[in-house]
Structure formats: structure tokens, C-alpha cells
């Protein structure tokens, strides 16, 4: 059964999307697009909470993000590998969901799961378009692959204004109570709500400032962006 999403965000861990491209997903859903999220692992190596708690929290977050669909492949956390079987599983999911646009993590980063998810996502999208991959499902290749670049410290290809969606994105992230809820035994490893709010706010302000708005989310594309009308381009030069 195919679902036909407009946009599918693929990420390594539940709560990644909420931090990197959640505002954009909410804004696109508000515009009427069908959005989805596929988390590759359930965070089973996390210090706090169980995978079952993370999955339940991800469902609550999905409602804040206004997702039409959310799934989890339950690949092994912290040791995600780009194997043939992982690529095939993901490619079949891409065929089922038929997204026009796929959002992947940036291809470099501190956490190995993040850059592996990026590579795995790209290769699965490519494989999904090969007719002979599997005779029981229809081939599908997304039109566009974009990379969320929030933690990549690279110049974004474009920034999406999420000023009106920032609070809803914050609510989605805070749905992960096992990760971000206040606890007495907090060792400093897990920032409390106020700290998270300030940190995410500062980052979103930085990217928003690049396009002259309050809050923004940055993305990178590998292709050049085409412009049809140079008279009506966004963002002032002077
Ligand atoms: Zn992550």
C-alpha cells in the first residue's frame, strides 16, 4: 500500500527532526502538504528512558509537528550501519511512502549515526528508483533531496522562516519527557527546559537573521537553485 507523502524527513534518532527541521515540517503541513517522518533507530542506547518510551513520545511529538505519518525502523542505535539490508529496507519504505521531497541529515557531523543516516537515506532513495530492485513494488525516486544543516556550521543554500512555528516545534521537542523533562538526578548531561529553549532559540535566531526574520531553519542542497524571477527575490541585499 502506498501513502504518497509530499515530504519525508529521515533521521537517525527520535527527536532529531524536532531539533533540525520540525518548524519547516509544521509550516509545510500548514500549507496543506502531507508530511512524514521516518526515524531509523528508537534511541535504545540513550542514557535516559527506554525505546518504548521514546516511541510513545515520538507519537506525541508527531501531533505537534502535524505529521500525516511517522514510523521507526528500529535499526540499532549508536551503531547504525549502511548495509545492503538496511538500504533495501529503507528503499522499500521510500517506495511505499513515495515522497516528492526527502529531508536528510547533513552528510558530516559529530555523531556517526547522523552522517550514516544521511548516506543511507541518499542511497536508499536512489535504489528505490530502480525498476528491477523488487518486482512487487513500484519504483519511486524523490524529486528533491535536501539536507538539514542546523548543526553543520556550513553556509545554508536556503533558510526557511519558522518564526510562526517555533513554539510548536519547541512543544514537539519537549514531548520527549524522558530526555528533556526536569529530574532531580540531572547530571548536567541533559539540559533542562530553560537551557534547551535558550539554546534552540539562539540557533534559530542566528539562521533567521540570515534572511531577516526572527527564527529560521537552514538547509543545504547539492544542486544549484534555479530562479525564474530575479525582480521578486526574497531577502534584502542592502
Ligand atoms: Zn540524533
The rounded percent of the chain whose pLDDT value lies above 90 is 84
Report the distance separating Cα 124 and Cα 127, nearest Å: 5
- The pLDDT score that the predictor gives to residue 2 is 73
Is 60 exceeded by the pLDDT of residue 45? yes
Identify which of 110, 218, 111 has the alpha carbon closest to the alpha carbon of residue 155.
218
Task: State whether the Cα torsion 168-199-47-9 is positive or negative.
Answer: positive
Q: Which residues contact 194 (CB under 8 A, 6 or more apart)?
A: none
Model pTM? 0.94
- The pLDDT score that the predictor gives to residue 48 is 85
- The pLDDT score that the predictor gives to residue 1 is 60
Cα of 73 to ligand 1 centre, how many Å?
Answer: 15
Cα of 112 to ligand 1 centre, how many Å?
Answer: 9
CB 116 within 8 A of CB 80: yes
- The pLDDT score that the predictor gives to residue 188 is 55
Cα of 6 to ligand 1 centre, how many Å?
Answer: 23
CA distances (Å), origin 226, targets 14, 100, 181, 233: 33, 18, 43, 11
CB 199 within 8 A of CB 126: no
Burial of 224 (0-12, 13-18, 19+ CB in 10 A): exposed
Cα of 72 to ligand 1 centre, how many Å?
Answer: 14
Identify which of 152, 154, 158, 156 has the alpha carbon closest to the alpha carbon of residue 108.
152
- Which residues, chain by chain, have CB under 5 Å from ion ligand 1? 12-13, 16
Report the distance separating Cα 178 and Cα 116, nearest Å: 25
Cα of 238 to ligand 1 centre, how many Å?
Answer: 38
CA 52 to chain centre: 20
| 167-213 pLDDT per residue, tens | 999 999 999 998 887 665 555 555 688 899 999 999 999 999 999 99
Average pLDDT over residues 159-171: 98
| Residue that wins the pLDDT comparison between 2 and 26 | 26
Is 80 exceeded by the pLDDT of residue 10? yes
| 104-139 pLDDT per residue, tens | 999 999 999 999 999 999 999 999 999 999 999 999
- The pLDDT score that the predictor gives to residue 98 is 98
DSSP 5-47: -SEEEEESSTTHHHHHTHHHHHHHHHTT--EEEEEEE--TT-S
Average pLDDT over residues 211-233: 97
Cα of 114 to ligand 1 centre, how many Å?
Answer: 6
Amino acid at each position: 500500500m502506498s501513502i504518497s507523502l509530499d515530504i519525508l524527513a529521515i533521521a537517525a534518532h527520535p527527536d532529531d527532526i524536532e531539533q533540525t527541521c520540525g518548524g519547516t515540517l509544521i509550516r509545510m503541513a500548514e500549507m496543506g502538504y502531507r508530511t512524514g517522518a521516518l526515524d531509523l533507530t528508537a534511541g535504545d542506547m540513550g542514557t535516559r528512558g527506554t525505546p518504548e518510551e521514546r516511541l510513545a513520545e515520538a507519537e506525541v511529538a508527531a501531533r505537534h509537528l502535524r505529521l500525516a505519518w511517522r514510523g521507526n525502523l528500529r535499526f540499532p542505535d549508536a551503531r547504525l550501519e549502511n548495509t545492503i539490508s538496511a538500504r533495501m529496507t529503507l528503499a522499500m519504505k521510500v517506495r511505499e511512502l513515495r515522497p516528492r521531497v526527502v529531508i536528510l541529515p547533513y552528510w558530516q557531523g559529530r555523531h556517526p549515526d547522523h552522517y550514516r543516516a544521511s548516506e543511507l537515506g541518499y542511497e536508499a532513495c536512489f535504489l528505490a528508483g530502480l525498476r528491477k530492485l523488487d518486482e512487487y513494488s513500484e519504483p519511486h525516486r524523490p524529486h528533491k533531496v535536501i539536507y538539514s544543516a542546523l548543526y553543520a556550521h556550513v553556509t545554508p543554500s536556503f533558510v526557511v522562516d519558522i518564526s510562526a512555528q517555533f513554539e510548536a516545534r519547541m512543544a514537539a521537542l519537549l514531548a520527549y519527557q524522558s530526555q528533556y523533562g526536569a529530574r532531580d538526578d540531572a547530571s548536567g548531561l541533559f539540559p533542562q527546559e530553560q537551557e534547551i529553549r535558550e539554546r534552540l532559540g539562539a540557533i534559530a535566531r542566528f539562521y533567521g537573521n540570515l534572511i531577516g526574520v526572527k527564527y529560521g531553519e537552514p538547509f543545504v542542497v547539492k544542486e544549484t537553485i534555479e530562479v525564474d524571477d530575479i525582480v521578486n527575490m526574497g531577502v534584502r541585499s542592502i
